[in-house]
């Protein structure tokens, strides 16, 4: 079974250490994710590809406990839907990324928690390929106590 990305140009794939693919304005240096054609700050149109760091800090989160509107959502619905976490992860000095989280229980997440990029199964397509998407996972697992 092949593992295929949910969309092109979202993250480096295949890779043992995948990174999100963003863009950086060559004029003012602002970083965006996903890639944008022009700068949201200064409207400059010379954006270069910029790979984002794999780790960041959790900033805000919630639980997606029902399937989002489709489209754009293309994942499981009905009985196949499994609640998942969704949140913002601040990549230091770069950009805040809205992302799926591997942890769906808000009780185990903490403000400022260190998170690392993970590639996770999303759905199976009509050809039987496993479609994967990106998520952020708590570093060292979600267990509390014992320090980080």
Binding site for Zn ion (CB under 5 A): 25, 27-28, 39, 41-42, 44
59 three-state secondary structure:
strand
Q: How far is the CB of 148 from Zn ion (least distance, A)?
A: 35
Q: Give least dist CB 129 to Zn ion, A.
A: 38
Closest separation in Å from C-beta 59 to Zn ion: 23
In angstroms, the Cα distances linking 74 to 51, 54, 85, 128, 135 are 25, 25, 17, 15, 16
Q: Are 94 and 53 in contact (CB under 8 A)?
A: yes
Yes or no: say if 122 and 75 are a contact pair by the CB < 8 Å rule: yes
Complex with Zn ion: residue 30 or 108, whichever CB lies closer: 30
* Nearer to Zn ion (CB atom), residue 23 or residue 99: 23
Residues 80, 103 contacting (CB under 8 angstroms):
no
CA dist., res. 77 & res. 16, Å (int): 30
Q: Which is nearer to Zn ion, 94 or 103 (CB)?
A: 94
Q: How far is the CB of 42 from Zn ion (least distance, A)?
A: 3
Between 43 and 82, name the residue whose CB sits nearer to Zn ion: 43
């Amino acid at each position: 079974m092949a593992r295929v990305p949910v969309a092109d140009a979202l993250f480096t794939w295949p890779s043992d250490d995948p990174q999100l693919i963003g863009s950086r304005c060559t004029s003012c240096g602002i970083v965006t994710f996903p890639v944008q054609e022009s700068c949201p700050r200064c409207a400059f149109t010379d954006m270069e590809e910029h790979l984002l760091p794999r780790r960041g800090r959790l900033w805000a989160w919630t639980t997606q406990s029902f399937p989002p509107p489709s489209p754009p959502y293309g994942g499981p619905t009905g009985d196949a839907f499994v609640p998942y976490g969704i949140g913002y992860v601040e990549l230091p000095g770069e950009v805040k990324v809205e992302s799926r989280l591997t942890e769906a229980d808000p009780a185990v997440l903490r403000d400022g928690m260190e998170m690392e990029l993970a590639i996770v199964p999303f759905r199976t397509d009509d050809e039987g390929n496993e479609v994967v998407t990106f998520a952020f996972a708590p570093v060292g697992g979600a267990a509390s106590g014992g320090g980080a």
